[in-house]
Amino acid sequence: MKLVDFFSGAGGLTCGLNMAGFQSILGSDIHPTYAATFAKNHPHAHVVTNDIRKLSEIDILKLTGLKPGELDLIAGGPPCQGFSINAPIRTLDDQRNHLFKEYLRIADILKPKAILIENVPGIVSLGKGTAVSAIYAHLEKMGYTVDHRILFAGHYGVPQMRFRTIFIALRDSAKIEFPEPTRNATAIANFAGAKELCIQVPPLLATRLKEKTTVWDALSDLPELALGQLIDDVEYTKPPQSEFQKILREDSTKIFNHGCAKLGKANLERLKHIPQGGSWRDIPHELLPAGLQRARRSDHTKRYGRLHPDELCSTILTKCDPHWGSFFHPTQDRAISVREAARIQSFPDHYIFTGSLTEQFEQVGNAVPPLMAKAIGETIKRLIS
């Protein structure tokens, strides 16, 4: 089954869909470094860095080598900054949201059997639901049946509290399904639409599911790292310590991108006071940054957090900066590395990230967790087979 991915970033969505059995023939991202990572890890796919607004119908059909209707799946995450709950301005007039229309224009040219759109949970409440209504109206006008849910990555074996809104549209079927949870993982969904759109796991079903994948399931086999150190292209020093590690180490014999940033003297002093699962509240008042000295105890719950080995990680961001979340290593006095962030996102170890350390963290943080994408892909594959 053939797949194209627009707004592909480093390729987390394509990586998972490949695991589900789709063959990637095209990836597109305007950021050259992200496109380079996609190309490195998907060598058989065409990679486009052009602005998609400038791609004509002839260009798209030529790049894919397909006629309208032959493609199985178009997937992608059109830029979501304008939809984020945390964005200062959440408006339909945001220029970044117009790229949604470009994505649907390309889908209309290719006329695939299925269309997959992923975005942040905030898209559900944008414009009091008008963004979702616009997507539905456009897809239905194109002849597709469409449905959407907010999926939780922890349900699919990802050791992370991450939610994504997933739209699935099918050309020749009225029945749309979403992947059922396989793991008994939980997180607080504090956003609009959570009750109606998140998949709920009843207590009786929860007892039949596998246990959640934990931070330690993800990280325990990786070598210790000094501040500012990079371990790259180096053989493993330990055998896999968990089922999750066995899965991510398939087809890999070495560790790549295991590098972290240095920490300032103030953060190193703060770290001494933070236990596993702890946060800024455990730091003595006089050592806190000025902003947190004025904060209420109920605010900024994840800032300066040290990960607990037996729990899920908080959402991996484009900057794994302790000031913004829980990104201190469970047992070492440092922030997590790129490879550790990639493990928490469920990228396989053979997936190599290009660019600077900052760009690598951005690529990992922006990605769809591959194991979550795999579950979605397996469901779509079954629906269109």
pLDDT per residue, tens digit, the chain (385 aa), is: 999 999 999 999 999 999 999 999 999 999 999 999 999 999 999 999 988 889 999 999 999 999 999 999 999 988 755 555 555 555 556 666 678 888 999 999 999 999 999 998 988 887 778 888 888 989 999 999 999 999 999 999 999 999 999 999 999 877 899 999 999 999 988 888 888 999 999 888 999 999 999 999 999 999 999 999 999 999 999 999 999 999 999 999 999 999 999 999 999 999 999 999 999 999 999 999 988 999 888 877 789 999 999 999 999 999 988 888 899 999 999 999 999 999 999 999 999 999 999 999 999 999 999 999 999 999 999 999 8
Looking at the fold, whether 162 and 219 belong to one and the same domain comes out as no
Give the residues across from 184 on adjacent strands: 211
Considering the domain architecture, whether residues 169 and 287 belong to the same structural domain is answered as no
Same domain (yes/no): 373, 362: no
Number of domains in the chain: 2
Q: Is residue 34 assigned to a domain?
A: yes
The DSSP call for residue 328 is B
313 & 374 share domain: no
- Can you say how many angstroms the Cα of residue 326 is from the centroid of all Cα atoms in its chain? 17
Residues designated catalytic: 80
Q: Are residues 280 and 167 in the same domain?
A: no
Q: Dihedral sign, CA of 300, 92, 119, 357?
A: negative
Q: What is the domain range of residue 27?
A: 2-204+369-384
Contact 54, 15 (CB under 8 A): no
Same domain for 99 and 191: yes
Distance CA 166, CA 182 (A): 18
Query: Same domain, yes or no, for 48 and 62?
Result: yes
- Classify residue 209: in a domain, yes or no: no
One domain for residues 166 and 238: no
Same domain, 58 and 196: yes
* Model confidence, pTM: 0.94
Whether residue 210 is contained in a domain is answered as no
User: Which pLDDT value is given to residue 154?
Assistant: 97
Residue 58: its H or E element: helix 57-64
